Structure 1
Amino acid sequence: MSANNTPYNLLVILGPTASGKTTFATHLAKTLDGEIISADSRQVYKGMDLGTGKDLEDYTIDGVSIPYHLIDIVDAGYKYNVFEYQADFFKAFEKVQQNNHFPIMCGGTGMYIESVLNKYKLINVPNNDALRIQLKGKTIEELTEILQSFKSLHNQTDLEAVARAIRAIEIETYYQDHPEIELDLPEVNPLIIGVNIDRNARRKKITDRLKKRLDEGMLDEVRQLIDNGIDPQDLIYYGLEYKYLTLHIIGELTFQEMFDKLNVAIHQFAKRQMTWYRGMERKGAIIHWVDAFEPINQRTDRVLKLLGKTL
């Protein structure tokens, strides 16, 4: 049953990488006369296609093109963030509703999903030069300790980079000093569907998909981005495929080292995604899990019943 007994106005399809989320979501969109709103932190970038798994061919079902949003919206090299995503999501959400279509959020970036479902209090926090001077020279361990001292983190970053850790502290400090900030965001009443895939099957799919994308020219895609003027350090910032392929291209890893390290990193990423979703459930989110290998028509029927819709 939906919250307050009101109809669902958003369908969320989440799951780990290689679980087949997009194919499932687009089939649901065709059935529900819906539009997809991506919740993927890297598919926003233009020219980053194979490495982010856009699979845009999945958005055509039986000759019908499924409209999508928040894919290819900023240039590679830019550092898009969760604040911008939340604002862009709600613009797309209202647009889909104005089109009299059903909004379907699809993606695996847990923070982006929760920024919408939990209406995180996100604002464009200005730079704090005095704080940056104070933090300059501190190690990543020291910065992490400072960040963990805040009672409630709005920006749970992976803290791989000193710059990201300093920015996270800057944001938390601002929120602490401005408790009065309120945001007026549209109401969402989501039905959340998780696509679950057996761990061994997921591992095989991830490795097979990595080989396939390399065969399809993923290295050339990264070389093209660098040739177009994107700083290799900006590509490394994006992590996973772009980090390891760039390290190979600039000569820091052999091809085999790149493949092995990247393959392990993607497996670890998928595990972290599942940990994030379990965390959402512990905090009260109701996720209805479906099996990735169950026929799509059967999964679709289950979702329609949960939505209270019939064909």
Structure 2
Amino acid sequence: MSYNSIFVIGPTAVGKTAIGVQLASRLNGEIISADSRQVYKGLDIGSGKDLADYDLPTGHIPYHLIDVCTLQKEYNLFDFQEGFYDAFEDIQKRGKLPLCVGGTGMYVDSIVSNYNMIPTPENPEMYAELSAKSYDELKEILIREKEKLHNTTEFGDKERIIKAIMINRFNTSEECKKIRESLVRPKVEPVIFGTTLERSLVREKIARRLRERLDHGLIEEVEGLHANGAEWERLESLGLEYRFVSQYLQGKIESKEKLFELLNLAIGQFAKRQETWFRFMEKKGVKINWLPREEDVNARVEAALAILNSLGFRKKSKS
């Protein structure tokens, strides 16, 4: 196979960005982020948007799909696919190597498994019909009509459920089928690296990182987002740090220590779900090259380079 890209995937807090950036530096590449929250401007501390990681002694590593929209827009899977393919083609045209790095399993799988997603056209009549129904009625419709929900955030509020129903109905229509058959997209042939650590170490890293974020501005970041117009409901829909800190600021969580306890547990559960998603990809036939469970980033980078060498992967020439 002629590989034309690299993916670095894994659960939260295991060093994916550091690995991806070093590989990009060694292979003349650029990073395409696959993180569902780093796309938003202002979601910095809570999303782990450590932009300093992209600045190495050897120079700055360019990145894509970070800070591309505001919270006023709800960035979705279709937006990610469009952004990914645009960045992928742009990086290739400049003679560089695309490296996709992130832990949002559905984003990664949408490219690797070639989801044929297309924009849902407006349908005022259907929207009006659905808007007249209650929240519980809409939830029943969505569960009945959609075989597998993408994620439970589709139950976030009435508007979100309506959108999910409309998208699902269009995606299963004949019109959508014809459009999908006519789609032309760049061929992505990646070497996929998975990286994780022993579960106890992942939990330890999650806890340590969370303490640091709470002590260095996470609460103030969420407070500022709300002060600048983001509704609590919107912030809670972003999940994890933004959901729990929003609840704390509204008095729904009684103390900072309780906030840490609840959020630390939720992030640990999230990391398990991420690993479950990657195992699901493997069961579908996606080849993931798992790197050694070593905490040292350099050791994992060298292991990745050895695998690439064994596959005959060619480094992009410096322009």
Q: Please, what TM-score do these two structures have when normalized by structure 1? A: 0.91
What residue in structure 1 maps to residue 62 of structure 2? 67
What residue in structure 1 maps to residue 45 of structure 2? 50
Q: Deviations over 1:46-93 (max 9, x none)?
A: 111000001111111225111100001111332101101100101101
Report the CA distance shift for 1:310/1:90 in structure 2 as closer, same or farther (over 3 A): closer
When structure 1 is superposed on structure 2, of 157-166 and 198-207 the one drifting more is 157-166
When structure 1 is superposed on structure 2, of 300-309 and 234-243 the one drifting more is 300-309
Letter in 2 for 1:137: S
What residue in structure 2 maps to residue 36 of structure 1? 31
Report the CA distance shift for 1:127/1:267 in structure 2 as closer, same or farther (over 3 A): farther
SS of 2:194's equivalent in the other structure is: strand
Q: Deviations over 1:227-250 (max 9, x none)?
A: 212222211111111111111112
Matched, 1:203 2:220: no
Q: Deviations over 1:129-177 (max 9, x none)?
A: 44442472152752453144x4xx5x61224424433322221211222
Report the CA distance shift for 1:300/1:89 in structure 2 as closer, same or farther (over 3 A): same
What is the CA–CA distance in structure 2 between the aligned matches of 1:161 and 1:130, rounded to whole Å?
A: 23
Structure 1, unmatched stretches of 5+, are none
User: How many residue pairs align between the two structures?
Assistant: 302
Aligned positions of 1:1-311 closer than 5 A: 5=1, 7-132=2-127, 133-134=129-130, 136-139=133-136, 142-148=140-146, 150=147, 153=148, 156-158=150-152, 159-162=154-157, 163-177=159-173, 178=175, 179-182=177-180, 183-254=183-254, 255-293=256-294, 295-307=296-308, 308-309=312-313
Q: Deviations over 1:255-296 (max 9, x none)?
A: 233222211111111111011000000011000111342543
Q: What CA RMSD, in Å, does the superposition of the two structures yield over aligned residues?
A: 2.0
When structure 1 is superposed on structure 2, of 137-146 and 206-215 the one drifting more is 137-146
What is the CA–CA distance in structure 2 between the aligned matches of 1:134 and 1:41, rounded to whole Å?
A: 27
What is the CA–CA distance in structure 1 between the aligned matches of 2:145 and 2:209, rounded to whole Å?
A: 36
Confirm or deny: 8 A CA contact 1:143 1:165 kept in the other structure.
Answer: no
SS of 2:172's equivalent in the other structure is: helix
What is the CA–CA distance in structure 1 between the aligned matches of 2:240 and 2:298, rounded to whole Å?
A: 33
What is the CA–CA distance in structure 2 between the aligned matches of 1:45 and 1:242, rounded to whole Å?
A: 12
Confirm or deny: 8 A CA contact 2:294 2:300 kept in the other structure.
Answer: no
How high is the sequence identity, in percent, across the aligned residues?
Answer: 41
Confirm or deny: 8 A CA contact 2:197 2:293 kept in the other structure.
Answer: yes
What is the CA–CA distance in structure 1 between the aligned matches of 2:295 and 2:94, rounded to whole Å?
A: 31
SS of 2:206's equivalent in the other structure is: helix
Confirm or deny: 8 A CA contact 1:41 1:109 kept in the other structure.
Answer: yes
